[in-house]
Structure 1
């Protein structure tokens, strides 16, 4: 406060120069410099009497405290946001790792299923080939038997015709006896 008064006094003292001075004696109400000085002194006195500087300082202190509280709250929010961001990044990393593990497991399962399906297909093809070969073999045997049966039937018919043409009663009896002996020999 004394600094303000001292500065004001210097300013008033500087205004007493002849170029700036008003006409007439200094301590006259007609001298504008004196009136301004009195007004300034009264103003400073009223400001000091009303304790305006203390109030201004108090308001500034309250404002400074409010700003400090806001800064502290902002720091806390920033720290909380940083922790939340780190948490979300960790969760994202965990989810990505889990997704990678799931994809890898699915790929392994797909490969195993493909190998199993390939083995089952090979087994099925082998089984079908075996069944087809058995059917072919069975059909061949049936065809050969059928051809043999027909050949035997044809041979018997031809032999009967030949034998009937060359056969007389004596030869017929002899053939019957030979056949009975052959059958008897094969049965015992």
Structure 2
């Protein structure tokens, strides 16, 4: 059973206003009461250690915060650089696309111009070939006519030569048969008289 008649000294000090008696000893009749300790340290020491840890934590967190902030700022800067690089590459790609689109358009117009030029050149070649073939046909026709005329002249000359030879042979034969010495003399005299 608890002793209710005795008021502890601490409670009495609190009620009477005597602050000098308020320390760790309390008498309950069974012995002295000692304040609780953890690892041989009083509560005020634990509060001091907790405050020290809290202050160190705040300092470290401030530094960590700055480190994290710097890391995030560096990452943001790297991302901005990558975005700027991507924008630059995109603008270069758009310029190349426009340049190649222009080249393709120019190539198509050049191809059309080349096609028109090739058609005109082909028509000119065909016209020239027709004219050349007509000229060649005319030239060959003339050559054939010239060969035919030359062959005719040659044939006529040959016929004339044969006719002259035949006439001369026939004349000789006739003269040889019909001409005697007296006819020969008479013919010579007529010739001389004609001169």
**TM-score, normalization by structure 1:** 0.56
Pairing partner for 1:35 from 37, 53, 67:
37
- Cα deviation, residue 25, structure 1: 5.8
The structure having more radius of gyration, on CA atoms, is 2
Secondary structure in structure 1 of the residue aligned to 2:37: helix
- Residue 45 to residue 149, structure 1, CA distance change in 2 (3 Å): closer
Partner of 2:125: 124
Question: Residue 47 in 1 paired to residue 25 in 2?
Answer: no
Question: Residue 99 in 1 paired to residue 100 in 2?
Answer: yes
Q: How many residues align?
A: 137
Secondary structure in structure 2 of the residue aligned to 1:27: coil
Secondary structure in structure 1 of the residue aligned to 2:33: coil
Q: Which aligned pairs between 1:29-178 and structure 2 lie closer than 5 A?
A: 34-36=36-38, 39=41, 41=43, 43-47=45-49, 51-148=52-149, 150-151=151-152, 157=159
- Residue 149 to residue 38, structure 1, CA distance change in 2 (3 Å): closer
Deviation string for 1:156-180 (max 9, x for gaps)?
848x96xx7xxxxxxxxxxxxxxxx
Deviation string for 1:87-123 (max 9, x for gaps)?
1111111112112222322232233223223322322
- Residue 38 to residue 153, structure 1, CA distance change in 2 (3 Å): closer
* Aligned alpha-carbon RMSD (Å): 3.6
Deviation string for 1:36-92 (max 9, x for gaps)?
49735154244168x332222111111112112222222222222112111111111
- Cα deviation, residue 143, structure 1: 2.5
Hey, what's the Cα distance between the residues in 2 that align with 1:124 and 1:43?
115
Hey, what's the Cα distance between the residues in 1 that align with 2:76 and 2:152?
111
